[in-house]
């Protein structure tokens, strides 16, 4: 072949999109993530973790209220997360207690970020029918935990489920006086609460601080993040799991630095006291923890590390 | 209801298997893990991690040759892995280079443990047709890396793939003199090498120490674990990924303790030198690493921690 022939062939190849050095193109790229579904057992309960996706929040000085942004960047860098944006993952869990199919928190419903709202498709990938959900248990009324209760057309996403919520959350967020006095930044959250709950006001079941809303799942009051913010304890056959809710946001920041105040914590001092109490509990008792904002599959343990803590993700178990 | 009526009702309920406190049974438990499939990009290459499963090896004093078993148990305990068995996960990767679909290592084929041999079904879950695999790249000839090349009926699992192997592995394991001189414990490995490769002796392509067996994937000699043990470097559009192979086994043990000698390392001193050199490289350059025996999805970074190292798993990315 002459040089000219070779160049012409190369140009033709480039124009046709063929890959140089390969006789044929590979199979097409998938171009999207695989379903985020992970199962584990707690005693005789079967837990299915389902990612709803992730929001990537540009990092600015307001994200951690009481730490210099450079310190936050350093913590992100140490976790190999980049320093421009804070990734905030969302993971819901479905608990099959044998008696009931319980969804804990309902995801973003696709209202918060284009990279979130995956709960429904991951539920389908897991073989869980939304109509089979018996109970939806809500930790608190921030939009990323409740928006998914209602589809974009307004219909109930889990039409046969009993929706159970902390009484103190209901009292705070459904109070029009609280809404009228709240900062402008909180108005969308108040509006989402009304969008979700007003069509089912009479059906919603409120549970008290230390209640057992459904057999084997006990409420653990964890106030500060919101007034009625609630964690849960699953107990079955001598095994336990703490459903962490938003006691911390991303562990690389707030488990490592329990004294940091995320912008989302409504009463930052109370949230910190709750966080330190809960971290101490789960570290001392070596209890497994499922965190709504932990990286998927969002379950692991908390270990003491110096005067602070570290999140140790559970090893993925390929064979139950 | 009288007390007797209540007791009779409870007994009837228990006898029928009904769950106390629930009007109906929940949806049936899934009873098995979801597919282990995870995707990430390296430049323009798309990597799909596929778990082949896990082997759980009873821990005895021979597993780490040069450390007291109590120290090994302590390391397992710190990682919340229990202390009776060492979990050894297996993760293969498929690399779509745009030009070729490359499988790196072929899994256990179901020959090693009932909880492993899942590569084929996870490949199906990922939508990857075994017939579409263009290249299988082998890191070394231990059975958990090659047995899956051939199905239990003896046919090739990836019938259209070119199989590429390190020349030094071929020279060692296919040498009948080496086999006859080898310890009895190694005979099954030599036999598996023959089962897998003898039917395709003429087709297998051997690559040299520093070769680029397929465009964008370079061999990194990493001897000690086996004589020709090889890691790989993926490079695409300025991004890199180190395919770690067995430079370390489980990171909770051997990234934390690079001086520990796993029973699998054939030349333990040389393997340790390789391990320390590679750990230093990836920690200094902050290179992402995919490890065959890392917990699924088996990709992350290595950070220095005191005089040793720590594996920092990549955060699961729900939206590519």
| Region for residue B17 given its phi and psi (left: phi exceeds 0; alpha: psi -120 to 50; beta: otherwise) | left
The pLDDT assigned to B220 comes to 98
CATH topology of domain A34-312: Metallo-beta-lactamase; Chain A (3.60.15)
Which chain B residue lies closest to A315 (C-alpha atoms)?
A: B295
Give the minimum alpha-carbon distance from B155 to chain A in angstroms, rounded to a whole number: 23
Please check whether residue A172 is in contact with residue A190, taking contact to mean a CB–CB distance below 8 angstroms.
no
- Cβ–Cβ under 8 Å, residues A72 and A200: no
Contact A128 B27 (CB under 8 A): yes
Instruction: Report whether B314 contacts B286 (CB < 8 A).
Output: no
What CATH number labels B37-313?
3.60.15.10
Provide the 8-state DSSP code for A281. H
Asked if the Cβ–Cβ distance from A46 to B54 is below 8 Å, we say no
Which residues of B are less than 8 Å from A22 in CB distance? Answer: 99-100, 215
Q: What is the DSSP letter of A154?
A: S
Contact map slice: B 71-130 vs A, CB within 8 A: 78-81, 87, 89, 96-101, 114-116, 118, 125-129
Residue of A113, A312, A319 to mutate, testing the B interface (most B Cβ within 10 Å of its Cβ): A319
Cβ proximity of A146 and A139 under 8 Å: no
- The C-alpha atoms of residue B148 and residue B157 are separated, in whole angstroms, by 7
CB contact under 8 A, A318 and B98: no
Residue A260 confidence class, pLDDT cut points 50, 70, 90: very high
A-chain residues near B313 (CB < 8 A) = 295, 313
> Which chain B residues touch A119 with a CB distance below 8 Å?
none
Q: Are A226 and A266 in contact (CB under 8 A)?
A: yes
Closest CA to A141 of A264, A229, A53: A229
Determine if the peptide bond prior to A289 is cis (ω within 30°). no
Distance from CA of B163 to the nearest CA of A (A): 16
Q: Which of A233, A104, A239, A132 minimizes the C-alpha distance to B29?
A: A132
DSSP E strand boundaries for B115-238: 135-137, 162-166, 205-207, 217-221, 230-236
Chain length of chain B: 320
CB contact under 8 A, B318 and A129: no
Cα separation values, B319 from A47, A80, A113, B67, Å: 23, 17, 11, 42
Contact (CB<8Å) B30/A126: yes
Chain mean position to CA B26: 36
pLDDT (average), residues A35-52: 98
Give chain A positions within 8 Å (CB) of B20.
99, 215
The answer to whether A37 faces chain B, any CB pair under 8 Å, is: yes
Longest dimension (CA), chain A: 84
Of the candidates B51, B212, B141, the residue with the CA atom closest to the CA atom of residue A34: B51
Cα three-residue angle B132-B133-B135, rounded to 5 degrees? 145
Give contacts of B78 with chain A, Cβ < 8 Å. 303
**Residue B248 and residue B291: Cα distance in Å, rounded?**
8
Instruction: Quote the CA–CA distance of A247 and A232 in Å, as a whole number.
Output: 11
Using a CB-CB distance cutoff of 8 angstroms, which residues of chain A are in contact with residue B97?
Answer: 19, 26
Q: How far away is chain B from the Cα of A81, in angstroms, using its nearest Cα?
A: 8
Closest CA to A254 of A92, A63, A58: A63
What is the rounded distance in angstroms from the CA atom of residue A259 to the CA atom of residue A3? Answer: 68
Residue from A30, A34, A292, A314 to probe the interface with B (highest B Cβ count within 10 Å) = A34
Asked if A98's CB is within 8 angstroms of B32's CB, the reply is: no
The 10s digit of each residue's pLDDT in A262-272 is 999 999 999 99
Mutate which of A98, A318, A320 to test chain B, going by most B C-beta atoms within 10 A? Answer: A318
Q: What are phi and psi of A133, to 5 degrees?
A: -70, 120
Burial class (CB in 10 A: 0-12, 13-18, 19+), A190: buried
Asked if A31 lies within 8 A of B320 by C-beta distance, the reply is: yes
How far apart, in whole angstroms, are the C-alpha atoms of residue A202 and residue A204?
A: 6
Report the side by side order of strands in the sheet with A217-221: A217-221, A230-236, A239-245, A289-291, A299-305, A308-313
Domain segments of chain A: what residues? 34-312
**Residues in chain A within 8 Å Cβ distance of B316:** 36, 51, 89, 295-297
Query: Which residue matches tokens 């992730």?
Result: A54
Whole-number Å distance between alpha carbons of A179 and B255:
52
Instruction: Indicate the residue of B24, B126, B318 with minimum beta-carbon distance to A36.
Output: B318
Per-residue pLDDT tens, chain B, 320 aa: give them: 344 444 444 444 443 333 444 456 778 999 999 999 999 999 999 999 999 999 999 999 999 999 999 999 999 999 999 999 999 999 999 999 999 999 999 999 999 999 999 999 999 999 999 999 999 999 999 999 999 999 999 999 999 999 999 999 999 999 999 999 999 999 999 999 999 999 999 999 999 999 999 999 999 999 999 999 999 999 999 999 999 999 999 999 999 999 999 999 999 999 999 999 999 999 999 999 999 999 999 999 999 999 999 999 999 999 99
Say if CB A20 and CB A13 are below 8 A apart: yes
| pLDDT for the residue numbered B156 | 98
Question: Could you identify the residue written with the tokens 């690079």?
Answer: B258
Cα–Cα distances in angstroms (integers) from residue B10 to residues A38, A214, B7, B17, B135, in the given order? 35, 19, 5, 11, 62
Separation in Å, CA A108 to CA A68, A88, A89, A102, A192: 29, 12, 11, 18, 11
Going by the DSSP 8-state scheme, the letter that residue B68 receives in this structure is -
- State whether B98 and A48 contact (CB < 8 Å): no
For Cα atoms A102, A108, A109, give the angle at the middle one, nearest 5 degrees: 85
| CA dihedral of A257, A259, A265, A266, whole degrees rounded to 10 | 180
Tokens encoding A114: 């284009």
Nearest to A53 among B48, B288, B318 (CB): B318
- Residues of chain A contacting B21 with CB distance shorter than 8 Å: 99, 215
pLDDT band per the 50, 70, 90 thresholds, residue A199: very high
Find the closest chain A residue to B77 by CA distance: A286
Give the pLDDT confidence score for residue B277 in this predicted structure: 98
Of B308, B204, B195, give the one whose Cα is nearest residue B259.
Answer: B308
- CB–CB of B81 and A295 under 8 A? no
Lowest mean pLDDT of A16-30, A135-149, A173-187, B176-190, name the range.
Answer: A16-30
pLDDT band (50, 70, 90) for residue A74: very high
Contact in structure between B104 and B13 (CB atoms under 8 Å): no
Rounded to the nearest angstrom, the minimum Cα separation between B132 and chain A is 7
Give the C-alpha separation, A183 to A178, whole Å.
10
- A46 in reach of chain B (CB within 8 A): yes
CB contact under 8 A, A300 and B132: no
Confidence of residue A20 (pLDDT cuts 50, 70, 90): very low
What ipTM goes with this model?
0.92
Q: How far is B199 from chain A (nearest CA, A)?
A: 26
Three-state DSSP state, A93 = strand
d(CA A263, CA A63): 5
- How many angstroms separate the Cα of B98 from the Cα of each of B7, B102, B128, B175? 68, 10, 14, 37
Q: Which of residues 209-268 of B touch A (CB under 8 A)?
A: 215
State the Cα–Cα distance between residues B56 and B116, nearest whole angstrom.
Answer: 10
Contact A183, A196 (CB under 8 A): no
Interval A171-185 mean pLDDT: 97
Residues 129-188 of chain B with CB under 8 A from chain A are 129, 132, 134
CA distance B148 to B158: 9
Q: Is B70 helix (H, G, I), strand (E, B) or coil?
A: helix
Got the DSSP string for B282-295? HHHTT--EEETTSS
Test A316 with B39 for CB contact under 8 angstroms: no
Q: What is the DSSP letter of B64?
A: B
CB atoms closer than 10 angstroms to residue A264: 16
- What number is the average pLDDT over the span A43-52? 98
Task: Please state, as a whole number, how many other Cβ atoms lie within 10 Å of the Cβ of residue A192.
Answer: 22
Asked if B100's CB is within 8 angstroms of A32's CB, the reply is: no
Check: CB of residue A168 under 8 Å from CB of residue A223. Answer: yes
What the block records as the tokens of B10 is: 């409870």
Contact yes or no for A290/A244 (Cβ under 8 A) = yes
Q: Rounded to 5 degrees, what angle do the CA atoms B136, B227, B54 make?
A: 55
What would the mean pLDDT of A142-167 be, rounded to a whole number? Answer: 98
Take residue B99 and report the two structure tokens written for it.
């030009």
Mutation for B interface: A19, A22, A26, A101, most B CBs within 10 A = A26
Pairwise CA distance, residues B140 & B193, whole Å: 10
Distance CA A69, CA B54 (A): 41
């Amino acid at each position: 072949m002459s040089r000219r022939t070779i160049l012409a062939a190369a140009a033709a190849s480039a124009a046709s999109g063929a890959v140089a050095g390969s006789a044929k193109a590979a199979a097409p790229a998938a171009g999207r993530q695989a379903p985020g579904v992970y199962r584990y057992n707690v005693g005789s309960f079967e837990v299915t973790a389902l990612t709803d996706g992730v929001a990537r929040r540009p990092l600015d000085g307001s994200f951690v209220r009481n730490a210099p942004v450079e310190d936050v960047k350093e913590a992100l860098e140490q976790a190999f997360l980049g320093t421009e944006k804070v990734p905030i993952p969302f993971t819901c869990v479905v608990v099959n207690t044998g008696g009931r199919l319980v969804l804990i928190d309902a995801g973003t419903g696709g209202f918060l970020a284009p990279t979130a709202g995956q709960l429904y498709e991951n539920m389908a990938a897991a073989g869980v029918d939304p109509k089979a959900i018996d109970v939806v248990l809500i930790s608190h009324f921030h939009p990323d935990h409740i928006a998914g209760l209602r589809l974009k057309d307004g219909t109930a996403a889990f039409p046969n489920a009993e929706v159970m919520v902390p009484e103190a959350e209901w009292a705070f967020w459904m109070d029009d006086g609280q809404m009228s006095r709240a900062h402008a930044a909180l108005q969308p959250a108040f509006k989402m609460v009304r969008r979700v709950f007003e069509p089912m006001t009479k059906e919603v079941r409120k549970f008290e601080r230390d209640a057992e809303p459904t057999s084997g799942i006990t409420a653990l009051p964890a106030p500060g993040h919101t007034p009625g913010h609630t964690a849960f304890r699953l107990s079955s056959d001598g095994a336990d799991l703490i459903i962490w809710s938003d006691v911390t946001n991303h562990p690389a920041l707030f488990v490592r630095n329990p004294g940091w105040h995320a912008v989302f914590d409504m009463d930052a001092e109370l949230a910190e006291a709750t966080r330190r109490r809960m971290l101490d509990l789960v570290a001392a008792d070596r209890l497994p923890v499922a965190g709504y904002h932990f990286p998927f599959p969002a379950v692991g343990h908390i270990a003491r590390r110096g005067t602070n803590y570290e999140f140790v993700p559970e090893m993925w178990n390929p064979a139950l």
